[in-house]
Amino acid sequence: MSTLKNKVAIVTGSTSGIGESIAQMLSNNGAKIVINSVQSIEKGKKLASELKNAIYIQGSIGVEGDCKRIVEETINHFGQLDILVNNAGQTMRLKSDDICDISNADFSYLLDTNVVGTWCITREAIPHLKKSGDGNIINITSCAGIDSASGSSSIAYSVSKAAINQLTKYLARHCGPEIRANAIAPGVIMTPRTENFDEAVNKFKTRTPLKRTGAPKDITEFVVAIIKSDYINGEIILVDGGFATV
């Protein structure tokens, strides 16, 4: 069983919601944390100061230079990198119920940010994760990337998350034995981002066997479990309250 004590983790998009909860949970388990966001700079600095051993690095995964800098600053400060949690990403709601309303520009924006951005920072991190010998890549995707019935906001978002699920499989195959790669695919988790997703919230409250939405801790507990259980590799783990079963 792997331990988190003195491991160094980058958690992208970690100043609110699931990302913030993951950063706090990893810190509580002894890891050193890199907090990251594009905006919310003051919130990020405050959160880093509140954790036991953490720093804040501003940057966007959608910008190649930022990806390089985030990893470089992590290594310069902590001297190592053991865990990369790819939580940052964008979503977009359709202007109408007609999927044809989504433009090429909108589709490309989500693919570039969510897929290419995730790949970019992962690519920069891989050499350092290999040096760790116990490296972990954990991609936070979405049930919408697995089950089309669960998506209600954007076909492009769903496609981007499906692509990251497939990327996870490739990483697991090609980065071992020094690195494991897994993904967690949440259902509707109540965060500031989802509080206005009335259609999706109602769908999960009425159609899942558990008759409720999830909380950030439902995801963070799995992140810790994946890191500690060192024979899990290449898995896409649905955490959706059983929505996919109905």
Residues designated as active site: 157
Residue 191 phi, psi (nearest 5): -140, 175
What's the length of the chain? 246
CA–CA separation, 99 and 162 (whole Å): 17
**What is the gyration radius of the CA atoms in the chain, in angstroms?**
17
Q: What amino acid is encoded at 182 in this protein?
A: N
CA 208 to chain centre: 23
Neighbours of 90 (CB within 10 A): 19
- ∠ Cα 235 91 10 (to 5°): 55
